[in-house]
């Protein structure tokens, strides 16, 4: 019965450009996306470097969303080098990526800081792609579930309205390494995350929140991943800068 009445989750594909691109190459990419036949039922969001947020939002077709790749936890102030949700919104941008493994592991952002950023972004009416995921040694030690549940708990503690949140599961060992979690591995973690949400948040949130997969998603492996029942989309790194991003967006078409 539950399955029958479950709200269909809209497939979501995010492209995380990371620290890549210049106006010329991004203009080419934007032209490709604007002229491509994109599956109507898929929500698409591109994560641009802060300095190109305005450029991306001004040039991308309105059907494609734009995300900042990070933000700070307050509206304004003496925080050299940071950007706030208010500034992101002022550029016409509606999304932010928070807690990406590169923020956690390259820049040392703690769960606590990520939680504070998340709360402030949501209060500022930004939607958030919140990232979680285990490192290789954690997977090998068999603690994947513990790690991702703890990360998700911190996110849950800071969310009032789950309709503004997409959860991105990105096993750190699969990001940019060419190693992808098998469709079965991805499905297993996504399913367990949904069960955790059912037990710790609510049935309604568990059924409606999109849990997307990130970690070396390509045109070649996206269809098989998209066929998994608890994989509701992707957060794509390197491939989001290439024309194959269109194939990934259309993985469920």
> Which residue numbers are catalytic?
100, 170
CB 115 within 8 A of CB 154: yes
Burial group, residue 122, by CB count within 10 angstroms (0-12, 13-18, 19+): buried
Q: Which helix (H) or strand (E) holds 47?
A: strand 43-47
Beta-ladder partners of 212? 168
> Among positive and negative, which fits the CA dihedral 30, 181, 189, 113?
negative
Angle at 173 between CA 172 and CA 176, to 5 degrees: 85
Q: For 186-242, give the DSSP string.
A: HHHHHHHHHHHHHHHT-HHHHHHS-EEEESS--TTTHHHHHTSTT--EEEESGGGGS
2 φ, ψ to 5°? -55, -45
d(CA 130, CA 204): 19
Max CA distance (Å), the chain: 54
Tokens 């210049």 sit at which residue? Answer: 22
């Amino acid at each position: 019965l539950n399955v029958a009445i479950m709200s269909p989750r809209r497939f979501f594909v995010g492209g995380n450009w990371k620290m890549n691109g210049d106006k010329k190459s991004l203009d080419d990419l934007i032209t490709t996306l604007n002229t491509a036949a994109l599956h109507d039922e898929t929500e698409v969001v591109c994560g641009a470097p802060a300095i190109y947020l305005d450029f991306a939002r001004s040039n991308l077709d309105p059907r494609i969303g734009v995300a900042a790749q990070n933000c700070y936890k307050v509206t304004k102030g003496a925080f050299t080098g940071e950007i706030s949700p208010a500034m992101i919104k002022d550029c016409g941008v509606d999304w932010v990526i928070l807690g990406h493994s590169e923020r956690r592991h390259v820049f040392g952002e703690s769960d606590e800081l990520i939680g504070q950023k998340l709360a402030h972004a949501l209060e500022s009416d930004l939607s958030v792609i919140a990232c979680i995921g285990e490192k290789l040694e954690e997977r090998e030690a068999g603690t994947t579930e513990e790690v991702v549940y703890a990360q998700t708990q911190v996110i849950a503690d800071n969310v009032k309205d789950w309709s503004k949140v997409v959860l991105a599961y990105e096993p750190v060992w699969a990001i940019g390494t060419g190693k992808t979690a098998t469709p079965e591995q991805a499905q297993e973690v996504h399913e367990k995350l949904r069960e955790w949400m059912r037990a710790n948040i609510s049935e309604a949130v568990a059924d409606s929140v999109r849990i997307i997969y990130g970690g070396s998603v390509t045109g070649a492996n996206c269809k098989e991943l998209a066929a998994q029942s608890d994989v509701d989309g992707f957060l794509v790194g390197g491939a989001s800068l290439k024309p194959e991003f269109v194939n990934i967006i259309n993985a469920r078409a």
